[in-house]
A and B are shown apart, each in its own frame.
Chain A
């Protein structure tokens, strides 16, 4: 166990505000952190949050919209985002598309609303489109902030993010050597959702200092899905003398982008996002997703994959049957479970996870 003090979102917002920074509340999933930072805007991501009372969102969204979007809207309507200066809604799925549209047309927040359209395929035209989309957002932000940072400054922010992505990857690779529970590991990792880069970097570096040579002698699992909420799922896995060795989650690994190549900063950010790890919301092929998940399992000692789905998340649903079949052919067992981020893990789910871990342990 490590004693790492990680500030809360509230503490970060207050501190960054006191330094004169603007705060952007960012909904899932992909967005250009660098572009906001160069305007002295601190992005703080809104993934729900879990255990939110969604009554207020129920006045705008039907019951068949996922709890991440329901909670995200309720959180705003309850006034928890009053402190922020911008609201950013990336076009990740039909529900988030609807959320952005409802914000713009009906809720009309007092804050600036930024929407981002993310292209769905992985090719040159899409990089070009996203670069143009980023230039449009640059103009919007420069109007809001009253200044136009130059390409050099933007490139500096990009390189900072690229370095952090490398460090995050190293953190993943060291997972088995770190004396951390799965909950601790993901608490550290997910603090990137709201910490400034220097703070996040120092926490990671500190944690990495404690990497030992001996490996964890536990059963490794690949966790796939949107986010590990409620975090009790991580405890359930750990309680079985297992651990999350690596993940294919939207809030974590799917946003560890590679280095860009272009000398144009907008194109470089676009390259990073478009060519990043496969993600259902980007519409990647089954083969790309299978190869990626398999490579994650190969990189670690993971013996099985748990698809942990948020109820009503359509992009994830479509991939499950074929991925499960492909993994099975590759001798990798998998389990599909679904939950609502506002509900505790049902006993039935806990039993299924336990049975799955026992099964993969026995067969390995």
Chain B
């Protein structure tokens, strides 16, 4: 660890940066006003606790600017078992989240083109293109991304991440840990779980070597405990939408899920979701819905369309459609009960095999059917995401089943989570209008 790096880190992040961000948060929270151009005529005011989402993310990326040489840095996939790294004191960066941020800030295309110029096909995942583009060009809306010392790739969300992380390993010349999770067609077999467990155990040695210290199992248990608590709170927030009107839209969830993805295992994340839950319960008590006129309640399947969140949110709200349940946001909460604080490695092996993306198309249909019943939904929008084959394959059959067997209006909406070239406003509007007519 360089003394210069450490001084810079302490001053720029720990003291000045953090204080400034916290001061701003307090000020904004105190004089809270919805963001400019917020459509209060159709939407509930934005969540006040949302200012803490900004704070957490701002601190996270600010720390990233100064962390190199102070803490070991790991880049990981969104479904990766990060608890071991967290317990070893790694700074953890999620390229997918950074990709989503680039998408929401509408700079993903420019960055992706940097990868395309180098020969990466337009038909590969747009998160991967954004990340590879950022790696090659150093372009990022957060100032600077820290270089990884370690890469951790878990195949429980797709196979794409494996090839993507191979590219990163080639570029950064750092160790790559692959946690290969067998796909669960119905139930995971004993040898599947054992296989993942062995990989997790093997990953400890590599991670310790990079971190330069040994893993403390009591620290690991503590991280697992915090991770589980945050996931449980997140699940509770999502389940609050069983109320009518639903207090938080899925579009809001997309924004506020950032901490559960990239800061799980931290005490601040537990505090944050605890505050958010209080605010949501307050909304329920006062009968405040995410949209003013909740005429229809709808499910969202698949990743968000990051660059069109506002457009979709407002267009649907204008028409009295509240999108209130999502298989995607649910994925970060539904597995919380599987985490066993006393048996961290064993329970991680099981938990990380079971994300919805690592399970069969029939399981996803069942999840949607359960949501339709529990949240009393009128329809489902299935985002057919060009960039996410594992999430999208099966949607055509799932849509038909929802329509024919459950009598739920269901729409297949072709787009891409990060590439705006796959989205045409007017076409999408007319598809959504037809969908709304189906619900009436």
Find out whether the CB atom of A318 lies under 8 angstroms from the CB atom of B178. Answer: no
Interface residues of B in 181-236 (CB under 8 A from A): 182-183, 185-186, 189, 191-192, 195, 198-199, 202
Chain B residues with Cβ below 8 Å from A177 are: none
A120 within 8 A of B: yes
- Docked CA distance A125–B177 (Å): 14
With an 8 A cutoff between CB atoms, is A62 at the interface?
yes
Query: Quick check: which of A295-303, A309-317, A340-348 contacts chain B, the rest being far away?
Result: A309-317
Flag the segment in A20-28, A93-101, A350-358 that touches B.
Answer: A93-101
User: Are B361 and A105 in touch, CB under 8 angstroms?
Assistant: yes
- Interface assignment of A10: CB less than 8 Å from any CB of chain B: no
Complex Cα–Cα for A30 and B167 (A): 24
Question: In this complex, which of B160, B178, B185, B362 has the most chain A Cβ atoms within 10 angstroms of its Cβ?
Answer: B185
> Most B CB atoms within 10 A — which of A59, A120, A280?
A120
Query: Inside 8 A of A311's CB, which chain B residues have their CB?
Result: 123
How far apart sit A216 and B397, CA to CA, in the bound complex (Å)? 52
| A121 interface hit (Cβ, 8 Å) | yes
**A121 B180 Cβ-Cβ under 8 A:** yes
Interface pair B158/A318, CB less than 8 Å apart: no
A111 and B225 alpha carbons, distance in the complex (Å): 46
Main secondary structure of the interface of A (DSSP, over half): helix
Of the candidates B163, B192, B362, B414, which one forms a contact with A319 in the assembled complex, judged by CB atoms under 8 Å apart? B163
Q: How far is the CB of A122 from chain B (nearest CB, A)?
A: 10
Q: Total interface residues on B, using CB and 8 Å?
A: 48
For residue B195, which residues in chain A have a CB less than 8 angstroms away from its CB? 119, 125-126, 128-129, 132
Least Cβ–Cβ distance between A349 and chain B, in angstroms: 16
Chain A: minimal CB distance from B71 (Å): 27
B213 to chain A, nearest CB (A): 25
Contact of B178 among A121, A286, A314 (CB under 8 A): A121
How far does the alpha carbon of A22 sit from the alpha carbon of B394 in the complex, in Å?
A: 29
B390–A94 CB distance below 8 A = yes
For A104, give the chain B residue with the smallest CB separation. Answer: B185
Interchain CB contact under 8 A, B183 and A61: no
Q: Are A102 and B160 in contact, with the CB atoms below 8 A?
A: no
Q: Which of A65, A121, A318 contacts B124 (CB 8 A)?
A: A318
Tell me if A64 is interfacial: C-beta within 8 Å of chain B.
Answer: yes
**What residue of chain A has the Cβ atom nearest to residue B365's Cβ?**
A105
- Say which residue of A62, A97, A320, A336 sits within 8 Å of B159 (CB atoms): A97
Report whether B189 and A136 are in contact in the complex, using a CB–CB cutoff of 8 Å.
Answer: yes
Q: Is A283 an interface residue (CB 8 A)?
A: yes
Flag whether B78 is at the interface (Cβ < 8 A). no
Least CB distance, B359 to chain A, in whole angstroms = 9
CA gap between A104 and B397 in the complex, in Å? 12
Is B119 among interface residues, defined by CB-CB distance under 8 A? yes
What CA separation (Å) do A132 and B193 show in the bound complex? 12
Interchain CB contact under 8 A, B393 and A98 = yes
Residues of A within 8 A of B185 (CB): 100-101, 104, 115
Q: Contacting A95 at CB < 8 Å: which of B120, B186, B365, B393? A: B393
A318 to B123, CA, bound (A): 10
**B54 touches A (CB below 8 Å):** no
The answer to whether B389 touches A117 (Cβ under 8 A) is no
| Alpha-carbon gap, A97 to B414, bound state (A) | 21
- CB contacts (< 8 Å) of B169 on chain A: these are 285
Q: How distant is the Cα of A100 from the Cα of B186 in the complex, in angstroms?
A: 12
Closest to B416 in A: A64
Name which of A91, A99, A102, A318 has the most chain B CB atoms within 10 A of its CB: A318
Q: Which residue of A lies closest to B120 (CB)?
A: A321
State which residues 59-87 of B face A: CB under 8 Å: none
Given contacts A104-B360, A115-B185, A125-B195, contact A94 B394 (CB under 8 A): no
Contact of B361 with A94 in the complex, beta carbons under 8 Å: no
The interface centre, meaning the residue of A133, A283, A285 with most chain B CB atoms within 10 A of its CB, is A283
Q: Which residues of the partner chain A approach B361 to less than 8 Å between Cβ atoms?
A: 98, 101-102, 105-106
CB of B419, distance to nearest CB on chain A (Å): 12
Kindly report which residue of chain A lies nearest to residue B191, judged by CB atoms. A132
- The answer to the question of B263 belonging to the interface, with a C-beta cut-off of 8 Å to chain A, is no
Q: 7 extra interchain contacts, Cβ-Cβ under 8 A, other than A98-B390, A120-B162?
A: A62-B392, A62-B395, A97-B183, A101-B360, A106-B362, A315-B159, A315-B163
Q: Which residues of B contact A (CB under 8 A)?
A: 118-121, 123-125, 128, 155, 158-160, 162-164, 166-167, 169-170, 178, 180, 182-183, 185-186, 189, 191-192, 195, 198-199, 202, 360-362, 365, 384, 386, 389-390, 392-397, 401, 414
Give me the 7 closest cross-chain CB pairs, A-B, nearest first: A98-B393, A105-B362, A321-B119, A318-B163, A132-B191, A106-B397, A129-B195
Q: List 9 A-B contacts (CB under 8 A).
A: A93-B159, A94-B159, A104-B186, A119-B182, A120-B180, A125-B195, A285-B170, A318-B166, A321-B120
